Structure 1
Amino acid sequence: MPGTAGLLAGFMAMLYIALLTESDAGIRGNVSALNSTISCHAALVPTAQCRRALPVAVKVQRRAFEQVRRPDARALRILAAALASAVFFADALTSLHIAISVLYVVVILLVAFTGSRRATHSSAWTCAALTLAALAIAHPHGVPGGAAARSAMSLVAIAVTSFIAIRHQASTAHLIEQIHLLNLTHDAIVVYDMNDRIAFWNQGAEKLYGWPAHRALRQPIHELTRTRFPAAADEVRAALLQAGRWDGELERTRDDGTVVTIASRLALLRDERGKPRAVLATDNDITLRKNLQMELQRKQDEMSAMLEAIPGMIWASTHDGEIEPMNRRWDAFDIAPGDATRKDRSLWRTLVHPHDLPRLENDWRSAVATGAPFEGTARLRRKDGLYRWMHICAEPLRNIDGAIVRWYGVNTDIEERKRAEEALERSEAFLADGQRLSHTGSIAMKLPDGEMLWSHEAYRIFGYAANVVPSMDLILARTHPDDIALVRQSYRQILAEAPFIDIEHRLLMPDRSVKHVHYVAHLSARQSGRFEYVGALMDVTHAKHTEEALTRSMTELAHVTRVTMLGELTASIAHEVSQPIAAIVTCGHAALRWLDRPQPDLAEAREAIDKAIRSAKRASDIVWRIRSMAQKRGPAHVPLDLNALVDESIELVLHELHDHGVELEIEYMSPAPHIIGDRVQLQQVLINLMMNGAQAMAAVTGRAKRLWVATRMADAQYVHVIVKDAGTGIKAEHAGQLFEAFFTTRSEGMGIGLSICRSIVEAHGGRIWAESPPEGGAALQFTLPVYDGRPQ
């Protein structure tokens, strides 16, 4: 029996530890019941034997617990069946005088670990049946008293173990259900002992603080969450111990470092002797509520400060129209906030200018009667007796039934605005008159939506009524068909935010008349960050007509000048024409002589006739050039070889230069540059410059009269033509007037030659100027754009 008692005590210890491993929460909730059960079983054997057997059983169970924690149900059942079979065969086939069948309690425990009450019942009855069957097999001829006692003890152990296991399963299921219910709540429920170590941590606590239960259990809660109490921690603990409860707000830190505000309710748990054992804490996250409260308080403070900071007189009114001032802005008008002695009409009559009072009172009474928003302007008198313009507006406050309960209004000082409006009206009137007199309208365009603003003069220029909405479509509708592409291109530049726009085009009006307009605009940025084009639209129709008339006059003047110049070049022209004519005559006589021979020399005759033909063509070219210069026609811009153009001009003045004793030096660049322009006009410029150079050297004696003509490239886009003489040079006081009309330094000169040259060069997109080189004389030079082959 001593061995049997030790073995039973060991298995009871194994039962206790195994139940602990199955469900920590359940077994902790029922520790006292298990302790009492073990005490009952231990009472069946002597105390000394239990004390010796318990340490051994604990060690065995610890090793088993380290190897197998919670095998699955199938493995448990297989293990239980194998163990039951081994116990049965050992009990039935061996002759050991010990209670081997008591090991069936391990089989029952293994089955109980699966959590199935039905399986536990079945295993208990099966184990009892196996015990009796083994007893009958082992003792077929009669059961001795010792074997019967051992079997009875085993049956008792099986019954007690089954009862405890089933009760434990029921308790565990009930506790697990309660734990699930606690996990369903949104509150964080935490239980910690008097050393602040966490014993229970529900899912609400996991969600609130971020730590899972396995990391939070047995941790000091206040260290884990870095709790900050509203008062000292010792004061909170003392209040909890004294009253058993404590409610308040805490600040705790989550797993991710976020600080949250907690509404915590603490309850102290005491044992049957009244000793504090644990603290039950129910926590709610009120961070959002606290933030909302703080934000609400901040908004209230801001509202109070805003009422005082608003540059207006805030007031309220009852539903029937009695006025009550509400901020300090009324102090300047001798009406303090909360002053209820002056209300309604007496208040308005005290402050409002007599001329504005009837209209204001009538509008206010109408608003009160109808409930419509009130708005008006009036002059109010200050303490110093001065009246200032006020903009008065009010809105009704209604209840859920729609009835007006109060009015709230504000009086805004608009004295400066009134003065600015008056000044703006005067300025707009002056601007409108100025635009009308100068035929200049204003057009502004906002980017990127293309919204436009036109002045009255812009509407008049386009011929639209002032009530239409300006748009690009309206501009294109008035644009001349030949200029639409140009206007569209400028609009694309605007959308691309080009810094400056400058465009001239025509408008085709409904009456088929044509207007010439010039639009200039620049890009500017507003304080709002948006870009806007601000520009001026000028009606330059009259200027265009004047310019065209001037151009016609200049063309006629240039024609007269060319004709006059041809008259001056009569000797040179006659010499140039007489040379090919004389050559024609000579070649004709020679051809006759070759033909009159007894044996005509046809080859020599043919060569003489070819020479005559070439001379005739040369004479024809000279006459054609002279006729071209003498003709009165408009300019014709075509591609020209600059070197050939200079050669043709020199041919017309070459005899004149020889007559003046001028030595001509020519320096051409190679390859010859090409320009685009009017041949006759540019020849006129070259002839004029060369004749001026020859005339400037008329009085030169003692040195050579040299005229140097050169062509070169000024840069990649312009060619450069230089006509330099060896004359007396240009006086400093004459340098700035040289190209002005009717300025001349010669008594017989008219002063229009160089002026016409400047007009021609500038019309071709070039520039002309004069210099006095250090070596003496004068250098007249001009530039022209290079022809790049693209259509002009």
Structure 2
Amino acid sequence: MDEGSGAVEARRSDAHDVGPFMRAAVTMSGARRGFLIVGRGNELTVAAMGDTSSVALSSGRLGTFDIDEATVREVVSTGRGRTRHSIVCLPIALPDSNDGAIYLEMPDGAAPARVEDLEWLATAFSAAAIANNFHGQIGTAHAAARAADDSRLGWDMIPALAWIGAPDGGFEDGNKQWFEYTGLTRETAVGFGFVSAFHPDDVDKVIKVWTDLCTSAKPGGVEARMLRHDGEARWFVLRAVPLLDDDGNVIRWYGVNTDIDELKRIEFELAQSQLVMAVAQRIIETGTWSWDMATDVFTCSPECASIVGLDANEITFETLSARVHPDDREMVAEAHQRALQGEELNVEHRFLLPDGTVKFIHARGRLILDEVQSPRAYIGTIADVTETRLAEEKIQSSLEDAQRAQASLAEAQKLSHVGSYRIKPSKREVVWSEETYNIYGFDTSIALSFEMISERVHPSDREMVAAVSDRGLRERQPWEIEHRLLLPDGSIRYVHCVTRVETNPEEEPEVFGAIIDITERVKSEEALQKAQADIVRMNRLTAMGAVTVSIAHEMNQPLMAIVTNAATCLSWLDRDVPDVAEAKLAAERLVEEGKRAGDVLLNVRSMARNSGPSMDMVDIGEVISHVLRMLRTEFRIRQIDVFVSVSTGIPAIRGDKVQLQQVLLNLMLNAAEAIGANDGARRIDLTAEADGSRSVVVRVEDTGEGIDPIASERIFEAFFSTKQQGTGMGLAISKSIISAHSGTLSARPRAGGGAVFEFSIPFAGESR
């Protein structure tokens, strides 16, 4: 084939791949038209444009078509899609280290539909472009072989089990990860032999979903277990996207299977936590409820349904409001209205059960706002306080007949943990019931004084109690107050005081009151709050996806190095006189970084299985040198000075070289980020020295913002981060790696400002 005919065939190949993709993207999003944009270096050009009916190849500039160039450059540079101002722009990977984007214009401010499917379609097209050598590298046999190697490498670098299917649903090919995980060969998997890779209990489900997708020619997916080559079954989410021709027929299927086994485990643990929460609610007779204001869906716990005496399916905000006692409805409605305006709901009222029984309910709640401070949900708790309220009413009644029924009152007080007292302030006389003595922890034989009583009030509450009581006496008005008591053994009790002021025949004030021990109720409320916090934490773990976060965090550096070396190699080869020697060096570095990326994936998988690292003799100086080479440009851009001190003659250690590079790389990047916009010294000190004859110590010191004392105890916990965009996985992974090497990793503030991170690993027992 001559050069001219090769170019024609390349253009035809481009049109064959681009046309179905462009039409599918426009149709799927509901856009007016779409553009395929290709970036070569710093130059962006429109490679194709089209709508649902036609697609035309092009080579114009972005300004010609009124395209938002800033958005396109952001998407191409970051590799993340953007949706703004009726525009959808998604990244596309192309061969020859070129990056591109699909740019869709929505009509009349319409919001794009099925963005997730668009992202999968873009991923499928990227894989197709790489696999089909999109730009038509047709020439010598050597160039064709190199193109095949490059496309296969790009296919194998997808961090998931990727595969290609025929129009009828048969298996055609998979990437390296697919075959390594399943242990199948292409010969055994081709056609419908791939079904043997699924757990026997899930085969029927997978076949049904796959058959439905092939029949409808629509994207979709399913969750199922896949059998690893060693027989272990793990959960995966299977996602498939079709590439269609002009008539809507399937040309090919592209799919990606993502490991969600860890997510499934977390979901199981969450279900267990919810069960514990339900048992706790039954014990403390407190239920929870929530109202999703966006969907108008009301949900409540089983204990909540039991308290109000209604079936959970019958409970709505309206049905609960209708059951409030008629005399309390206005009060409750006002309390809810204030809560919907931002105040905390805290109201006690009567509730009519379907059988006519009256309960006293204590409702608490608060409004939840979304990221733009708009009301998102209304959540709260209800507690059955009927017994407490009836006891309080009984005590109030008993106080009026205290002199006539002291014996029965004392017994009632003992049963309900409520004491009574009478105080004559002018004569400083105090008369307490037996239960009040018990609550305050005094012996009944002791004559009480104002000073003794005041000393039992918690020091932090004394000023408040004194102010409330003084005002009540001065204004001759009743008062109620909750405060703490500090007993001699150091224990704390919570009490609720109900007091009224009477005038005796001498026209002097006389105080009558009741004191209720509410310690158990307060502890129950604290237990409920802790249980709710545990549920919130489990939801956050589920949403983040631990496996995905770990892999993304650890793969970033080797992938960036691969891209850089690949670009360097192409640059040397694109010269008028290709510099083969330099290109070979760049290619060797590319292979090295590819192996490192593979090792990182193996290490992450090993950590997920709690297996140990791959141990070998390691020179800590080589680890430091390799990391510094990778970060040289990063430190130059950030204008950070790095001072390195490596002692001579440090014996070798036994360890996993790649994992140790991961740890040091993470500590150095954390130090650089901590320095940030520091106007003072911008310096990192990296030291490696022997700690006697026992271990090697590597120390990273920075002049950044230092360590928050409050956060210092949690910085090595998974998902805890003090950075706004942090994942909270870096230090947790680093600590697990060092622990697997029988070492220690610690952090402390640096004298003069900044932080010091240090790890030590025992020597191997013999020196190089």
Q: Shorter-chain TM-score: which interval? A: under 0.3
Which protein has the larger Cα radius of gyration, Structure 1 or Structure 2? 1
Question: Relative to total residues, which structure has the larger strand share, 1 or 2?
Answer: 2
Which structure carries more helix by proportion?
A: 1
TM-score, normalising length: structure 2: 0.26
Highest RCO, 1 vs 2 (Cα 8 Å, sep ≥ 6): 2
